[in-house]
Structure 1
Amino acid sequence: MRETLIRQSDAQSSVPIVAVDAESLETVLTGLGETAKVWCRANGYSAKPSSFQLVPGLSGDLQAVLFGVDSGGDADPFSLGSLANALPSGDYHLADGFSGTAEASLAFALSSYKFDRYSSSSNQKAVRLCVPSDVDLGRLSAILDGVQLARDLINTPANDLGPEELANAVETLFMENGGCGQITVGDGLLKQGFPMVHAVGRASSRAPRIADYSWGAEDAPKVTLVGKGVIFDTGGLNLKPGNSMALMKKDMGGAANVLGLASMIMAAKLPVRLRVIVPCVENAVSGNAFRPGDVLNSRKGLTVEIGNTDAEGRLILADALALADEESPEVLIDMATLTGAARVALGPDLPPFYTNDEALADDISVMSEAATDPLWRLPLWKPYMKYLDSKVADINHINTSGTGYAGSITAALFLSRFVEKAESWVHFDIFGWTPAEKPGKPMGGEAQGIRALFDLLSERYTKTK
């Protein structure tokens, strides 16, 4: 994906992509020549926003690509991404006057992503976009590598990405960047104080584990990322119906996104002490599966009544968050494909986030809009905490009111009980999937929120972007 972007100096020749609207079309065509005018009129090209037209020269070679833009500024800033898979093989560049060169370049590259691990087809076009010297290609490459890592992990099916393979992906990423850490496996989780991770994952033939890795100077500001790593979710004894199970390979999307963000942070060498904690489990069914009505101990010391085994993600996150919270990080971020309620509220493209830190919430919103990486704040509405009351334990992990309301909020409130010492904590309830292809977002596994978070952390800790 990053190979889609090259420096202009590395291309022997490239075809210009020219921004046009209804008002400028005639002027642009005049500059291209009479043949271009005749060709575009014959094809009925009118420069509608996001439309494009290939314009041949006199010799038949491609002379230019016309791309329709919205003169009112209301078009999708990622719209140029639609060209990545539509253009014939070759090198292209954005002509003078094209606004948002860096953003357009990012969109183009993001759209070029292909997950072809299992495909025998080799029909791949070589389409490259040449970027000018004022575009920070190194930073774009770091972002693209992080997004690709997240997408690749989510798209990989559970038969090839089990708890062991996911934990190994954490280890590999950190070892390649000079980090260190450990993986705790199976019954070792009980000895090391992760009883809920163990309970959720013990029914699988593939042992549960938790990966805990760090990078950066020990005296640098502590930034800790926690990702839900459920490699497949059957629902456990509260078994999902088939149509709800079809996409459950993506239930480790939180872990994938956390690793994508970690990749960006380390590539950019941000001056932070980065820690990533990923509980890796498969929520399976067997004779030793945890049950509705069970009461589990937690690392925090709270006892948790199980209301539904299909709400397993918050259980493993709770143990992981309790571990992360013990060293009082400056910023604690968790990401999880946690609730269907979030999708009902905001749809697949707009993940909600929760935090009590007003300044952090404002920064996330600003960075999200600037990066075209949509996020929306929802409240940690404390009156709903009563929905988690249990008559037999300290807390139930699901809404027990019988109403079924506020599923995403009550999940976030449950997690909040396991965070006390962190200076700032934010929870993201992501979907991790693009159900229908759009510019910058191929159908399939998706990185959500991590480009905005990378910008935020870069701004906070280096004061540059």
Structure 2
Amino acid sequence: MPAAFSFFAERPAMRFAQNAEGARPLIMVAPDGLEAHLATLPPAQSAFVRAQGFGAAAGTVALLPGALGVEGALLGLGDPQAREKTRFALSSAATALPEGAWKLHGDLAQDALHEAALGWLLAGYRFARYAPDAPPKARLVCPDGLDRAHLEAMAAGEAFTRDLINTPASDMGPDELEGAARLLAERHAARVTTISGEDLLTQNFPMIHAVGRASPRTPRLIDLRWGDSGPALTLVGKGVCFDTGGLNLKPGASMGLMKKDMGGAATVLGLAHMIMQTGAKLRLRVLIPAVENSVSGDSFRPGDILTSRKGLSVEVNNTDAEGRLVLADALALADEDRPDLLLCMATLTGAARVALGPDLPPFFTDDEALAAALSQAAHDSADPLWRMPFWAAYESKIEPGIADLDNAPSGGMAGSITAALFLRRFVTQTPRFAHFDIYGWQPASAPARPKGGVGQGARAIFTALPEVLS
């Protein structure tokens, strides 16, 4: 990787101001209270605000001049309905304000204040590995009553995830993904082991090997462990560093974003950073099957039947449904350890995008308490999730007759559900299990989310963990 690039580079724009002394006021104003507030300002300031055309729309800023320059600013809150439609709407202030420390003033509900502060930090992200891109220089003082360490850990974990996804496959293959996991482990005194190449066969990870064997970039299973006390949490992330579709080759238009097919791995690594950074009292394990799904004379084929680590046979009806194959072996290993909670994250199906779009990832679980905690945490952390069912009536769709399981049922209906049902077959000893079918990509720039790689679900999980593992 270029010498100037580091996944853990210091990012001042994604941290709160260290000192509140001298911070200029950023006064929050709703549209219906604007005129009343302008009446309290000196005439020159109120006239200047009006001259800027400021109407207090959500995220808009009006500077307040003073004898020595800008002495403060107004931040528009917009109406509540508008803010509901646009996550992190107030984060636009981070790029609109001049350099220096700023402190929020005014009334805002605690959940809205949390979202505003988090959005400000996330708006500071820039991916500058290949071209310069200066971050904003305005810094926010952490609002009173918020957990600074928690917010900064979420922002740092999100930045790590975004960096991993945004890095093209030329610089992010299985070896480089392992290197990123090792950097993370070194930072937090965690331990990493890997099983790679032909050792995947001798140590019984046949489906990881089958998917990755066509590529000159050696497939592997990355295993990170941290912590020696507390409940056991295992995270499994899909690490397909590039997906050509294999012999069922993707068309060019569908291949263009496939550097993001390791988004599940990137997201669990970002989540792991949040957990370790805040010193959570748990035993963490992260498993990443890291492969490149390539085309060569050694590619696995449509019609092949693979025997998984679990002993279940799988008929390959589409080599482009490879993610569930590598995840199956990793989930089987995780299940043998019987953790208190097992979570799987993957950029798995287009069907999930058809159902819910790019901004709302589904999750699947049979655990009602876990589902409720995740749904509440998704709201609290501005990290939306939507529960979908392990619909038992569709089990027959993944049973081809010639083998125990089918990796790509025909018909095309309920693709996200049948993929989730497939994965559940490999988790038989761990009662608390959830699968997240994420997109991992922001198609167009939005407040606090530039176009490109993005974490989904990690903040919600991080927020829910204290309740879920108590």
Normalization by structure 2: what TM-score?
0.93
2:4: which partner in 1?
A: none
SS in 2 for 1:198: helix
Change (3 A) 1:279 1:90: same
1:123 shift after superposition: 4.3
Unaligned runs of 5+ in 1: none
Q: 1:111 is aligned with what amino acid?
A: A
1:272 shift after superposition: 1.1
Q: 1:172 is aligned with what amino acid?
A: L
Change (3 A) 1:299 1:7: closer
Q: Is the 8 A contact 1:179 1:213 kept in 2?
A: yes
1:41 shift after superposition: 2.2
SS in 1 for 2:280: coil
1:320-399 paired onto structure 2 within 5 Å: 320-399=330-409
1:85 shift after superposition: 2.1
Change (3 A) 1:68 1:270: same
Change (3 A) 1:4 1:237: same
Q: Is the 8 A contact 2:16 2:139 kept in 1?
A: no
1:274-353 paired onto structure 2 within 5 Å: 274-353=284-363
1:460 shift after superposition: 3.5
Bigger Cα displacement from structure 2, 198-207 vs 24-33 = 24-33
How many residues in Structure 1 have an aligned counterpart in Structure 2? 457
Q: Is the 8 A contact 1:5 1:129 kept in 2?
A: no
Change (3 A) 1:206 1:71: closer
SS in 2 for 1:350: coil
1:157: which partner in 2?
A: 168
2:3: which partner in 1?
A: none
2:77: which partner in 1?
A: 69
SS in 2 for 1:451: helix
Change (3 A) 1:52 1:7: closer
Bigger Cα displacement from structure 2, 238-247 vs 82-91 = 82-91
SS in 1 for 2:73: strand
Identity fraction in percent: 50
Tell me the alpha carbon deviations over residues 103-161 of structure 1, each in whole angstroms, 9 at most, x when there is no partner.
Answer: 31111010110000111x36444221122454322222211111111111001111111
1:117-132 paired onto structure 2 within 5 Å: 117-119=129-131, 121=132, 123-132=134-143
2:37: which partner in 1?
A: 28
Q: 2:76 is aligned with what amino acid?
A: G
Change (3 A) 1:226 1:6: closer
Partners in 1 of 2:338 and 2:207 — Cα distance? Answer: 22
2:219: which partner in 1?
A: 208
Q: Is the 8 A contact 2:22 2:101 kept in 1?
A: yes
1:8 shift after superposition: 6.0
Partners in 1 of 2:16 and 2:363 — Cα distance? Answer: 37
Q: Is the 8 A contact 2:59 2:75 kept in 1?
A: yes
Counterpart selection for 1:178 from 182, 189, 192: 189
Q: 1:435 is aligned with what amino acid?
A: P
1:198 shift after superposition: 0.3
1:438: which partner in 2?
A: 446
Q: Is the 8 A contact 1:170 1:213 kept in 2?
A: yes
Q: Is the 8 A contact 2:14 2:125 kept in 1?
A: no
Partners in 2 of 1:9 and 1:275 — Cα distance? Answer: 33
Q: Does 1:116 align with 2:128?
A: yes
Q: 1:38 is aligned with what amino acid?
A: A
Q: 2:169 is aligned with what amino acid?
A: A
Tell me the alpha carbon deviations over residues 157-215 of structure 1, each in whole angstroms, 9 at most, x when there is no partner.
Answer: 11111101112222332233222241011001000100000000000010100011211
SS in 1 for 2:274: helix
Change (3 A) 1:420 1:241: same
Tell me the alpha carbon deviations over residues 331-364 of structure 1, each in whole angstroms, 9 at most, x when there is no partner.
Answer: 0000000000000000000000001111111111
What is the RMSD computed on CA atoms of the aligned residues?
1.8
Change (3 A) 1:299 1:130: same
SS in 1 for 2:102: strand
2:6: which partner in 1?
A: none
Partners in 1 of 2:156 and 2:304 — Cα distance? Answer: 42
Counterpart selection for 1:191 from 191, 199, 202: 202
Q: Is the 8 A contact 1:6 1:131 kept in 2?
A: no
Tell me the alpha carbon deviations over residues 399-457 of structure 1, each in whole angstroms, 9 at most, x when there is no partner.
Answer: 13xx2100100000110111100120000000001111112222111010111100111
Q: 2:130 is aligned with what amino acid?
A: Y
Change (3 A) 1:353 1:256: same
Q: Does 1:265 align with 2:275?
A: yes
1:143: which partner in 2?
A: 154
Counterpart selection for 2:233 from 197, 215, 223: 223
2:5: which partner in 1?
A: none
Partners in 2 of 1:132 and 1:365 — Cα distance? Answer: 25
Q: Is the 8 A contact 1:5 1:131 kept in 2?
A: no
Change (3 A) 1:102 1:391: closer
Partners in 1 of 2:260 and 2:35 — Cα distance? Answer: 48
Partners in 2 of 1:221 and 1:229 — Cα distance? Answer: 25
Q: Is the 8 A contact 2:15 2:152 kept in 1?
A: no
Q: 1:420 is aligned with what amino acid?
A: T
1:30 shift after superposition: 2.5
1:423: which partner in 2?
A: 431
SS in 1 for 2:363: strand
Change (3 A) 1:250 1:323: same
Q: Is the 8 A contact 2:378 2:385 kept in 1?
A: yes
Q: Does 1:456 align with 2:467?
A: no
